[in-house]
Amino acid sequence: MALVVQALGRGGSCRLDGGWVVFWRLCDVRIVEEGDRRGLVFWLGAGAYRRVSGLTSARLGLGSMQGQCPISCWIMLNMSEDFCKELVKMCNSKGMVFCQTASIRIRSVRPDRIDQALLDVFKESTSLKSPLQLLIIILPDQTGSYGKIKRICETELGIVSQCCQPKQAARFSNQYFENLALKINVKVGGRNTVLDDVIQRKIPRVSDYPTIIFGADVTHPQPEEYSCSSIAVVVASMDWPEVTKYRGIVSAQPPREEIIQDLYKTVQDPQKGVVHSGMIRELLVAFFNSTGQKPYRIIFYRDGVSEGQFSQVLFYEVDAIRKACASLQEGYMPRVTFIVVQKRHHTRLFPTDRNQTDRSGNIQAVPPAYYAHLAAFRARYYVEDETSDSGSTGGQKAKDRNFKVRPLPIIKDNVKEVMFYC
């Protein structure tokens, strides 16, 4: 395989032979010519590299197509100076622009004082010249603080956070620092990967016209937990044609309810009259604000639907999508492709190319559906600080099916702007 990549911005050009690519802090890249094999091209920095032929052959690839996402205002809690230096060094070596020193001095936090510590850090950050972009914290205990930290940071203070397990952090493993760097990059608005076909505008049904891709899922409490809400999540791509950044919205609804209730809704306001709202409408508006274009096509991946509910979910949710579009502009009816994603089936799919699988030889999950699942699991922490491994809350197990659904706390706008749930 031979491939020539030309830098359009700062940097240089290089030739790819044997499937490996090396860039030096490129602002933008395009394909000049390619061989017969197709694969992936990644935006890297500072001499980082990744194999072009598949997602699974390397781990790194940080940066953003629009340029770097500099992290100039950040804080660390419960970390040693050595851990801090190694993490910053790893992030910078992979193309991120990460300020060498924290904006506020590193401090230790006791598990029983985590609430006050987060509030103190937030108050102190308000005096800084730039808004706080990231909080990195080694958990003060193994399990008891994660949910509380996420709930406080994302719904009360508006802080994007990255938590580290104490056992993993103590090992000082390069693998662990690399994984943290990947998570941090998307949480501050960067991209880890971009498809080769995206660059060349060759993805069918996506590259030709502005397209938004949705992922949706509903997670339910355990069968005996009648007083716990189900949680619906919708994520949607905010960048076209790259389709790599997904904004997420969460909503609570009655337990065991499979149809997403808040896709589209109207409220009668005494002064304004009929007010249109809903998850689809909000995400469509966010897409327009981000790209400056209305979606010509909608691709909707729906996870978690049993076969007996196919027709019911299809009828209600496609209708909600249509109504949300029509509420934005009269006659606005983009094409809609509604795809149900199933895991519990007996169909076995075998890839013809090992480069298109993960390390176990399995076909990759659909990213939008996977992101929706991650966001749904995160939202459980907003109801209860801790959840079981199944993602259900430990709420009261009274058989009261008529309880009122408690709305989820509102995620702060600056947190919703990035993929905080990764």
> Do the beta carbons of residue 380 and residue 391 sit within 8 Å?
yes
- The three-class DSSP label of residue 384 is coil
Mean pLDDT value across residues 235-250: 94
Mean pLDDT value across residues 299-326: 92
3-class secondary structure per residue, 227-281: CCCEEEEEEEECCCCCCCCEEEEEEEECCCCCCCCCCCEEEEECCCEEEEECHHH
How many Cα atoms occupy the beta-carbon half-sphere of 350 within 13 Å?
Answer: 1
The contacts of residue 304 (CB under 8 Å, 6+ apart) are: 217, 218, 219, 258
- Burial class of residue 30 in the structure, from the number of CB atoms within 10 Å of its CB (0-12 exposed, 13-18 middle, 19+ buried): exposed
Look at residue 402 in the predicted model and tell me its pLDDT.
Answer: 63
In order of 190, 215, 315, the CA distances from 69 in angstroms are 6, 25, 41
Banded model confidence at residue 130, pLDDT cuts 50, 70, 90? confident
Helices (H), 112-209: 114-125, 146-152, 166-170, 174-187, 196-199
Mean pLDDT value across residues 313-327: 95
Residue 305, pLDDT above cutoff 70: yes
Look at residue 70 in the predicted model and tell me its pLDDT.
Answer: 82
Banded model confidence at residue 183, pLDDT cuts 50, 70, 90? very high
Residue 390, pLDDT above cutoff 70: no
The model's pTM: 0.79
The DSSP 8-state label assigned to residue 177 in this structure reads H
Banded model confidence at residue 128, pLDDT cuts 50, 70, 90? confident
Look at residue 348 in the predicted model and tell me its pLDDT.
Answer: 67
Rounded-to-integer distance, Cα 102 and Cα 90, Å: 15
Rounded-to-integer distance, Cα 18 and Cα 104, Å: 45
Model confidence pLDDT, tens digit, residues 277-303: 999 999 999 999 999 999 999 999 999
